[in-house]
Amino acid sequence: MDDHKLIVDGLVRLIDESETACVAGKAYSAAGCMEVLENEQPDVLLLDIGLPDDSGINLCSKVKQKYPQVKVLMLTSYGELTTITRALDAGADGYLLKNSLPEELLEGIQTVASGEHFLCEEVNVTLQNNENNTLELTRREMELLQLIVAGYTLPEQADKMCLGYHTVRSYRQKLNIKLDAHNTVQLVQNAKALNLV
């Protein structure tokens, strides 16, 4: 389940043409995913972390509670140690980055379907080198974080950063995921605890 239609359509085509698996359903939000699962539970659920209505990590936890037999393979662009660890703690059976090769995706699907855990090469390296891995924010994410701490509203943040409203919302979602925050207060508290502001 991913919130970008183009990515979803590409994945559907890749999987259906592979003879490894076939796609049973698709959704573009957490709510949509839960609706699909009410009617049919796949062997493997591909799940993004950045969804428009909830974090994929929260959704993974809900799916695992309600449908423990469904294997969850995270397929995301978030490669930071904290995010990977939280997803695995939420019950994810595998973790794959979107820049992985198609063969690695198909191998991941097969591996988690057979009951084993799967980590793409890059994630494996990140976990093995975890003592050197700190939370990394981009320059734009840091800029947005400082504006949030200063009390600016979302439209004001967009104006100050000379970016579109939806772009800033997307940065904000990434900040929430990276800092494990569900609201502004929590975001600011966690940023301060990590000495980011």
Instruction: List, for residues 44-66, the tens digit of each pLDDT value.
Output: 999 999 888 989 999 999 999 99
Query: Does one domain contain both 12 and 84?
Result: yes
Query: Does one domain contain both 103 and 172?
Result: no
Q: DSSP state, 55? A: B
Residue-wise pLDDT tens digits, 129-168: 765 556 778 888 999 999 999 999 999 999 999 999 888 9
Query: Does one domain contain both 119 and 28?
Result: yes
Arithmetic mean of pLDDT, 88-104: 93
Residue 181's pLDDT is what? Answer: 83
Query: Does one domain contain both 75 and 59?
Result: yes
Over 90: is that where the pLDDT of 68 sits? yes
Query: Does one domain contain both 10 and 94?
Result: yes
Of the residues 100, 131, 162, the one at which a domain ends: 131
Over 80: is that where the pLDDT of 3 sits? no
Residue 2's pLDDT is what? Answer: 44
The answer to whether 64 and 90 have CB atoms below 8 angstroms apart is yes
Query: Does one domain contain both 127 and 143?
Result: no
Query: Does one domain contain both 167 and 89?
Result: no
Residue 133's pLDDT is what? Answer: 53
Q: What residue numbers bound the domain in which 148 lies? A: 139-193
Q: Determine phi and psi for 142, rounding to 5 degrees.
A: -65, -40
Residue 193's pLDDT is what? Answer: 79
Query: Does one domain contain both 68 and 155?
Result: no
Element containing residue 149 per DSSP (H, E): helix 139-149
d(CA 81, CA 148): 24
Query: Does one domain contain both 74 and 156?
Result: no
Residue-wise pLDDT tens digits, 113-132: 999 999 998 898 888 776 55
Residue 173's pLDDT is what? Answer: 86
Query: Does one domain contain both 11 and 103?
Result: yes
Residue-wise pLDDT tens digits, 18-40: 888 889 899 999 999 999 999 99
Q: Taking the complete model, does pTM exceed 0.75, yes or no?
A: no
Over 80: is that where the pLDDT of 93 sits? yes
Query: Does one domain contain both 183 and 161?
Result: yes
The answer to whether 59 and 28 have CB atoms below 8 angstroms apart is no
Over 80: is that where the pLDDT of 1 sits? no
Number of domains in the chain: 2
For residue 96, the domain's CATH number is 3.40.50.2300
